[in-house]
Amino acid sequence: MENLLLVDMDKCTGCKQCSLACSLTKEDLFDPARGRIKILKKEDIALGVPLVCEQCETHPCVESCQNNALSRDDATGIITVDDNLCTSQGTCVDACIYYAIRLHPESKKPMFCDLCGGDPYCAKHCVPEAITWVENTDDVLKTKKKLRSARMAMYRDLKKEAV
Ligand code: SF4
């Protein structure tokens, strides 16, 4: 893929415009619960932790599905759900190492970012540019991995705090 989604938690205010924009473009509704991007909010310091499919090489979600309902496009990394095979058990939700998957509030099928076919709507609506759609270079890829590690660490800390 020529571009990638770069997510910088340090710029995220947790406003959820990205989730709203996502649900609007996917379902014609303003509902962050239907967004393919999740925002975990730390209210006291107005920090948001964006979680979204990373189109990762390891794709444990695909392997975890005993019904073979998930498939991955090798060129783009985008995951597709076969609704006829999916039984909404949520094993993919638990398997995702980036905490990016959740089930749709009505259909109960997992939702995956499809990068809007190469022009992600979320990136266009993130005012502080915490999400950007940028050219994929070796340096940008290194930055993406570094930023992702920081987000995962923060996510785990916030979850621990919440227990
Ligand atoms: S739109 Fe940007 S700042 Fe707002 S929650 Fe999403 S990533 Fe964070």
Give the Cα separation of 129 and 44 in Å (integer): 21
Identify the pLDDT of residue 147.
98
Q: What does the chain come to in residues?
A: 163
Q: Which two tokens stand for residue 160?
A: 């621990």
Residue to substitute in 131, 151, 155 for testing ligand 1 pocket (most ligand atoms within 8 angstroms of CB)? 131
Q: What is the largest CA-CA distance in the chain?
A: 43
- In sign, the C-alpha dihedral spanning 116, 119, 124, 130 is positive
Please list every protein residue whose CB sits less than 6 Å from any atom of ligand 1: 12-18, 39, 48, 50, 126, 128, 130-131
Report the atom number in ligand 1 closest to the C-alpha of 14: 5
CA gap 69, 28 in Å, rounded: 25
pLDDT attached to residue 163: 64
Contact 63, 72 (CB under 8 A): no
Instruction: Check for a shared fold between 1-51+116-163 and 53-112.
Output: yes
What does each of the 163 residues of the chain score in pLDDT, given as a tens digit?
A: 699 999 999 999 999 999 999 999 999 999 999 999 999 988 777 789 999 999 999 999 999 999 999 999 999 999 999 999 999 999 999 999 999 999 999 999 999 999 999 999 999 999 999 999 999 999 999 999 999 999 999 999 988 887 6
| Token pair for 108 | 């109960």
- What phi and psi, each to the nearest 5 degrees, are found at residue 90? 80, 15
Instruction: State which of 9, 13, 36 you would mutate to test the pocket of ligand 1, scoring each by most atoms of that ligand within 8 A of its C-beta.
Output: 13
Beta carbons within 10 angstroms of residue 29's beta carbon: 10
**pLDDT value at position 43?**
78
Residue nearest to atom 3 of ligand 1 (CA): 12
Distance CA 77, CA 115 (A): 10
pLDDT value for 160 = 85
The CA distance from 39 to 6, in Å, is 15
Domain 53-112 carries which CATH code? 3.30.70.20
User: Measuring from atom 4 of ligand 1, which residue has the nearest CA?
Assistant: 15
Domain locations along the chain: 1-51+116-163, 53-112
Which pLDDT score, from 0 to 100, does residue 159 have?
Answer: 84
CATH of domain 1-51+116-163: 3.30.70
